[in-house]
């Protein structure tokens, strides 16, 4: 009989939780964000403690947070949505036109913007899920189609603050307990989507599809329907972001939303969402959005030129992708090592070779080693 006993884990539950927390990408992004704010504030106290410093720190990223949350749901399924910037522009202009041409209540106008975004996302989802065309190609095409439709509709027209009711415009400036209303809206959306992805069966299926679409289909998951849902949600949140943009800035021109789709992808990737699907959280994407916006605000205060601002953002995205691949490789090696470990082995690492006794077969020597 073997005298080898299974050793209990030396780490307490609290230490294991702390260990997982310290290794999380979200915490790393949060630490970088705090350090950036601290360094910039030490250089210029008005950055945080000025009349609008704290408010701008919370308010400015709200639109990008909404886009990053929707983009995360798409990226998790191993897809991407490059049309969110054009969707934002279309819905922002729709919001202004509805206020000019109709007497609809503000709530109805907001819902109309969200609905329009969802319909545009539905087009992407149908083409990707049922057309079996790569999402990068489809959404790149619809990005230009939606932008062209926006330019044709708006032309040189510009919607000004006077064209929208003051009650609606006040949403971009009012606060509750010192927190901007639009930031509260973004946080509520973040919490709802984050809870869905973590606890709901449909949310977990998005991760399963992104990890291995073929295996998910063989398991019986409704892959097409889930991918369609992800694109519709991304479009709906882009529509909401368009409404937020109209309320935040008070004006809408044909250039609204240009290039913001790349910021949304960058925020999600920097926040730990795998570009190859299957992992990441909306919390990390939201932190990535805050970090990107804060970088754009902080670097000029620190006296860094516009070129280096773009270079820093690009370097962060490249570093995040490289780190993601390194972590995936390490995880794959750990899974292979765990798979190759014989059943009943108490060794936490890779299996070790059993000593072979001279003149005995491997099976016999293994038995002698166990008896010994």
Q: Both tokens of residue 204?
A: 């977990």
265: number of Cβ within 10 Å = 25
Note the residue count of the chain: 372
pLDDT of residue 204: 93
pLDDT in tens, the chain (372 residues): 444 444 455 556 655 555 555 567 788 888 889 999 999 999 888 888 887 878 888 999 999 999 999 999 999 999 999 999 999 999 999 999 999 988 889 999 999 999 999 999 999 999 999 988 899 999 999 999 999 999 998 887 888 888 888 899 888 888 888 889 999 999 999 999 999 999 999 899 999 999 888 899 898 889 999 999 999 999 999 999 999 999 999 888 888 988 899 999 999 998 989 888 888 899 999 999 999 999 888 888 888 877 777 787 788 888 877 877 777 677 667 767 777 776 555 555 555 444 444 444 444 444 444 444
Q: How far apart are CA 367 and CA 369, in angstroms?
A: 5
Q: Two tokens at 88?
A: 């934002």
Structural domains present in the chain: 23-334 (1.10.3470)
Q: How far is CA 1 from CA 7, 106, 369, in A?
A: 17, 77, 10
Q: Give, as one character, the DSSP assignment of residue 338.
A: H
Residues 6+ apart with CB under 8 A from 120: 83, 87, 90, 142, 146, 235, 238, 239
How confident is the model at residue 313, as a pLDDT?
Answer: 78
Nearest to 243 by CA among 354, 100, 93, 118: 93
pLDDT tens string 118-154? 999 999 999 999 988 899 999 999 999 999 999 998 8
Q: Helical H runs in the chain?
A: 13-22, 25-43, 46-49, 53-59, 62-76, 84-101, 106-129, 135-154, 166-169, 181-199, 201-211, 213-219, 223-249, 260-270, 282-301, 306-340, 362-371
Residue with tokens 């020597």: 365
User: What pTM value is reported for the model?
Assistant: 0.82
């Amino acid at each position: 009989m073997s005298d080898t006993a299974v050793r209990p884990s030396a780490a307490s539950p609290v230490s294991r939780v702390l260990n997982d927390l310290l290794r999380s990408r979200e915490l790393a992004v949060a630490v970088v964000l705090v350090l950036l704010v601290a360094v910039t504030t030490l250089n210029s106290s008005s950055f945080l403690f000025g009349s609008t410093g704290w408010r701008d720190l919370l308010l400015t990223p709200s639109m990008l947070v909404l886009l990053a949350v929707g983009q995360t749901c798409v990226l998790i399924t191993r897809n991407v949505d490059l049309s969110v910037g054009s969707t934002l522009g279309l819905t922002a202009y729709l919001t202004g036109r509805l206020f000019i041409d109709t007497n609809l209540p503000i709530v109805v106008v907001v819902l109309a913007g969200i609905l329009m975004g969802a319909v545009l996302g539905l087009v992407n989802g149908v083409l990707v899920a049922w057309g079996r065309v790569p999402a990068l190609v489809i959404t790149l095409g619809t990005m230009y189609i939606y932008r062209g439709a926006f330019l044709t509709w708006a032309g040189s027209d510009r919607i000004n603050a006077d064209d929208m009711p003051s009650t609606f415009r006040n949403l971009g400036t009012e606060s509750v307990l010192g927190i901007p209303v639009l930031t509260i809206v973004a946080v509520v959306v973040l919490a709802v989507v984050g809870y869905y992805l973590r606890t709901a069966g449909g949310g977990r299926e998005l991760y399963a599809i992104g990890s291995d679409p073929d295996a998910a289909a063989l398991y019986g998951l409704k892959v097409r329907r889930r991918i369609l849902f992800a694109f519709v949600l991304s479009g709906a949140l882009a529509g909401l972001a368009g409404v937020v943009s109209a309320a935040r800035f008070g004006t809408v021109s044909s250039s609204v939303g240009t290039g913001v789709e790349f910021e949304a992808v960058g925020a999600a990737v920097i926040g730990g969402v795998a570009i190859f699907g299957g992992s990441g959280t909306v919390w990390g994407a939201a932190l990535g959005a805050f970090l990107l916006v804060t970088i754009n605000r902080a670097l000029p205060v620190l006296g860094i030129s516009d070129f280096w601002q773009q270079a820093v953002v690009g370097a962060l995205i490249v570093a995040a992708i490289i780190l993601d691949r390194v972590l995936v490789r390490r995880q794959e090696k750990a899974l292979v090592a765990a798979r190759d470990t014989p059943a009943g082995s108490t060794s936490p690492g890779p299996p070790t070779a059993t000593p072979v006794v001279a003149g005995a077969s491997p099976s016999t020597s293994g038995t002698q080693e166990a008896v010994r």
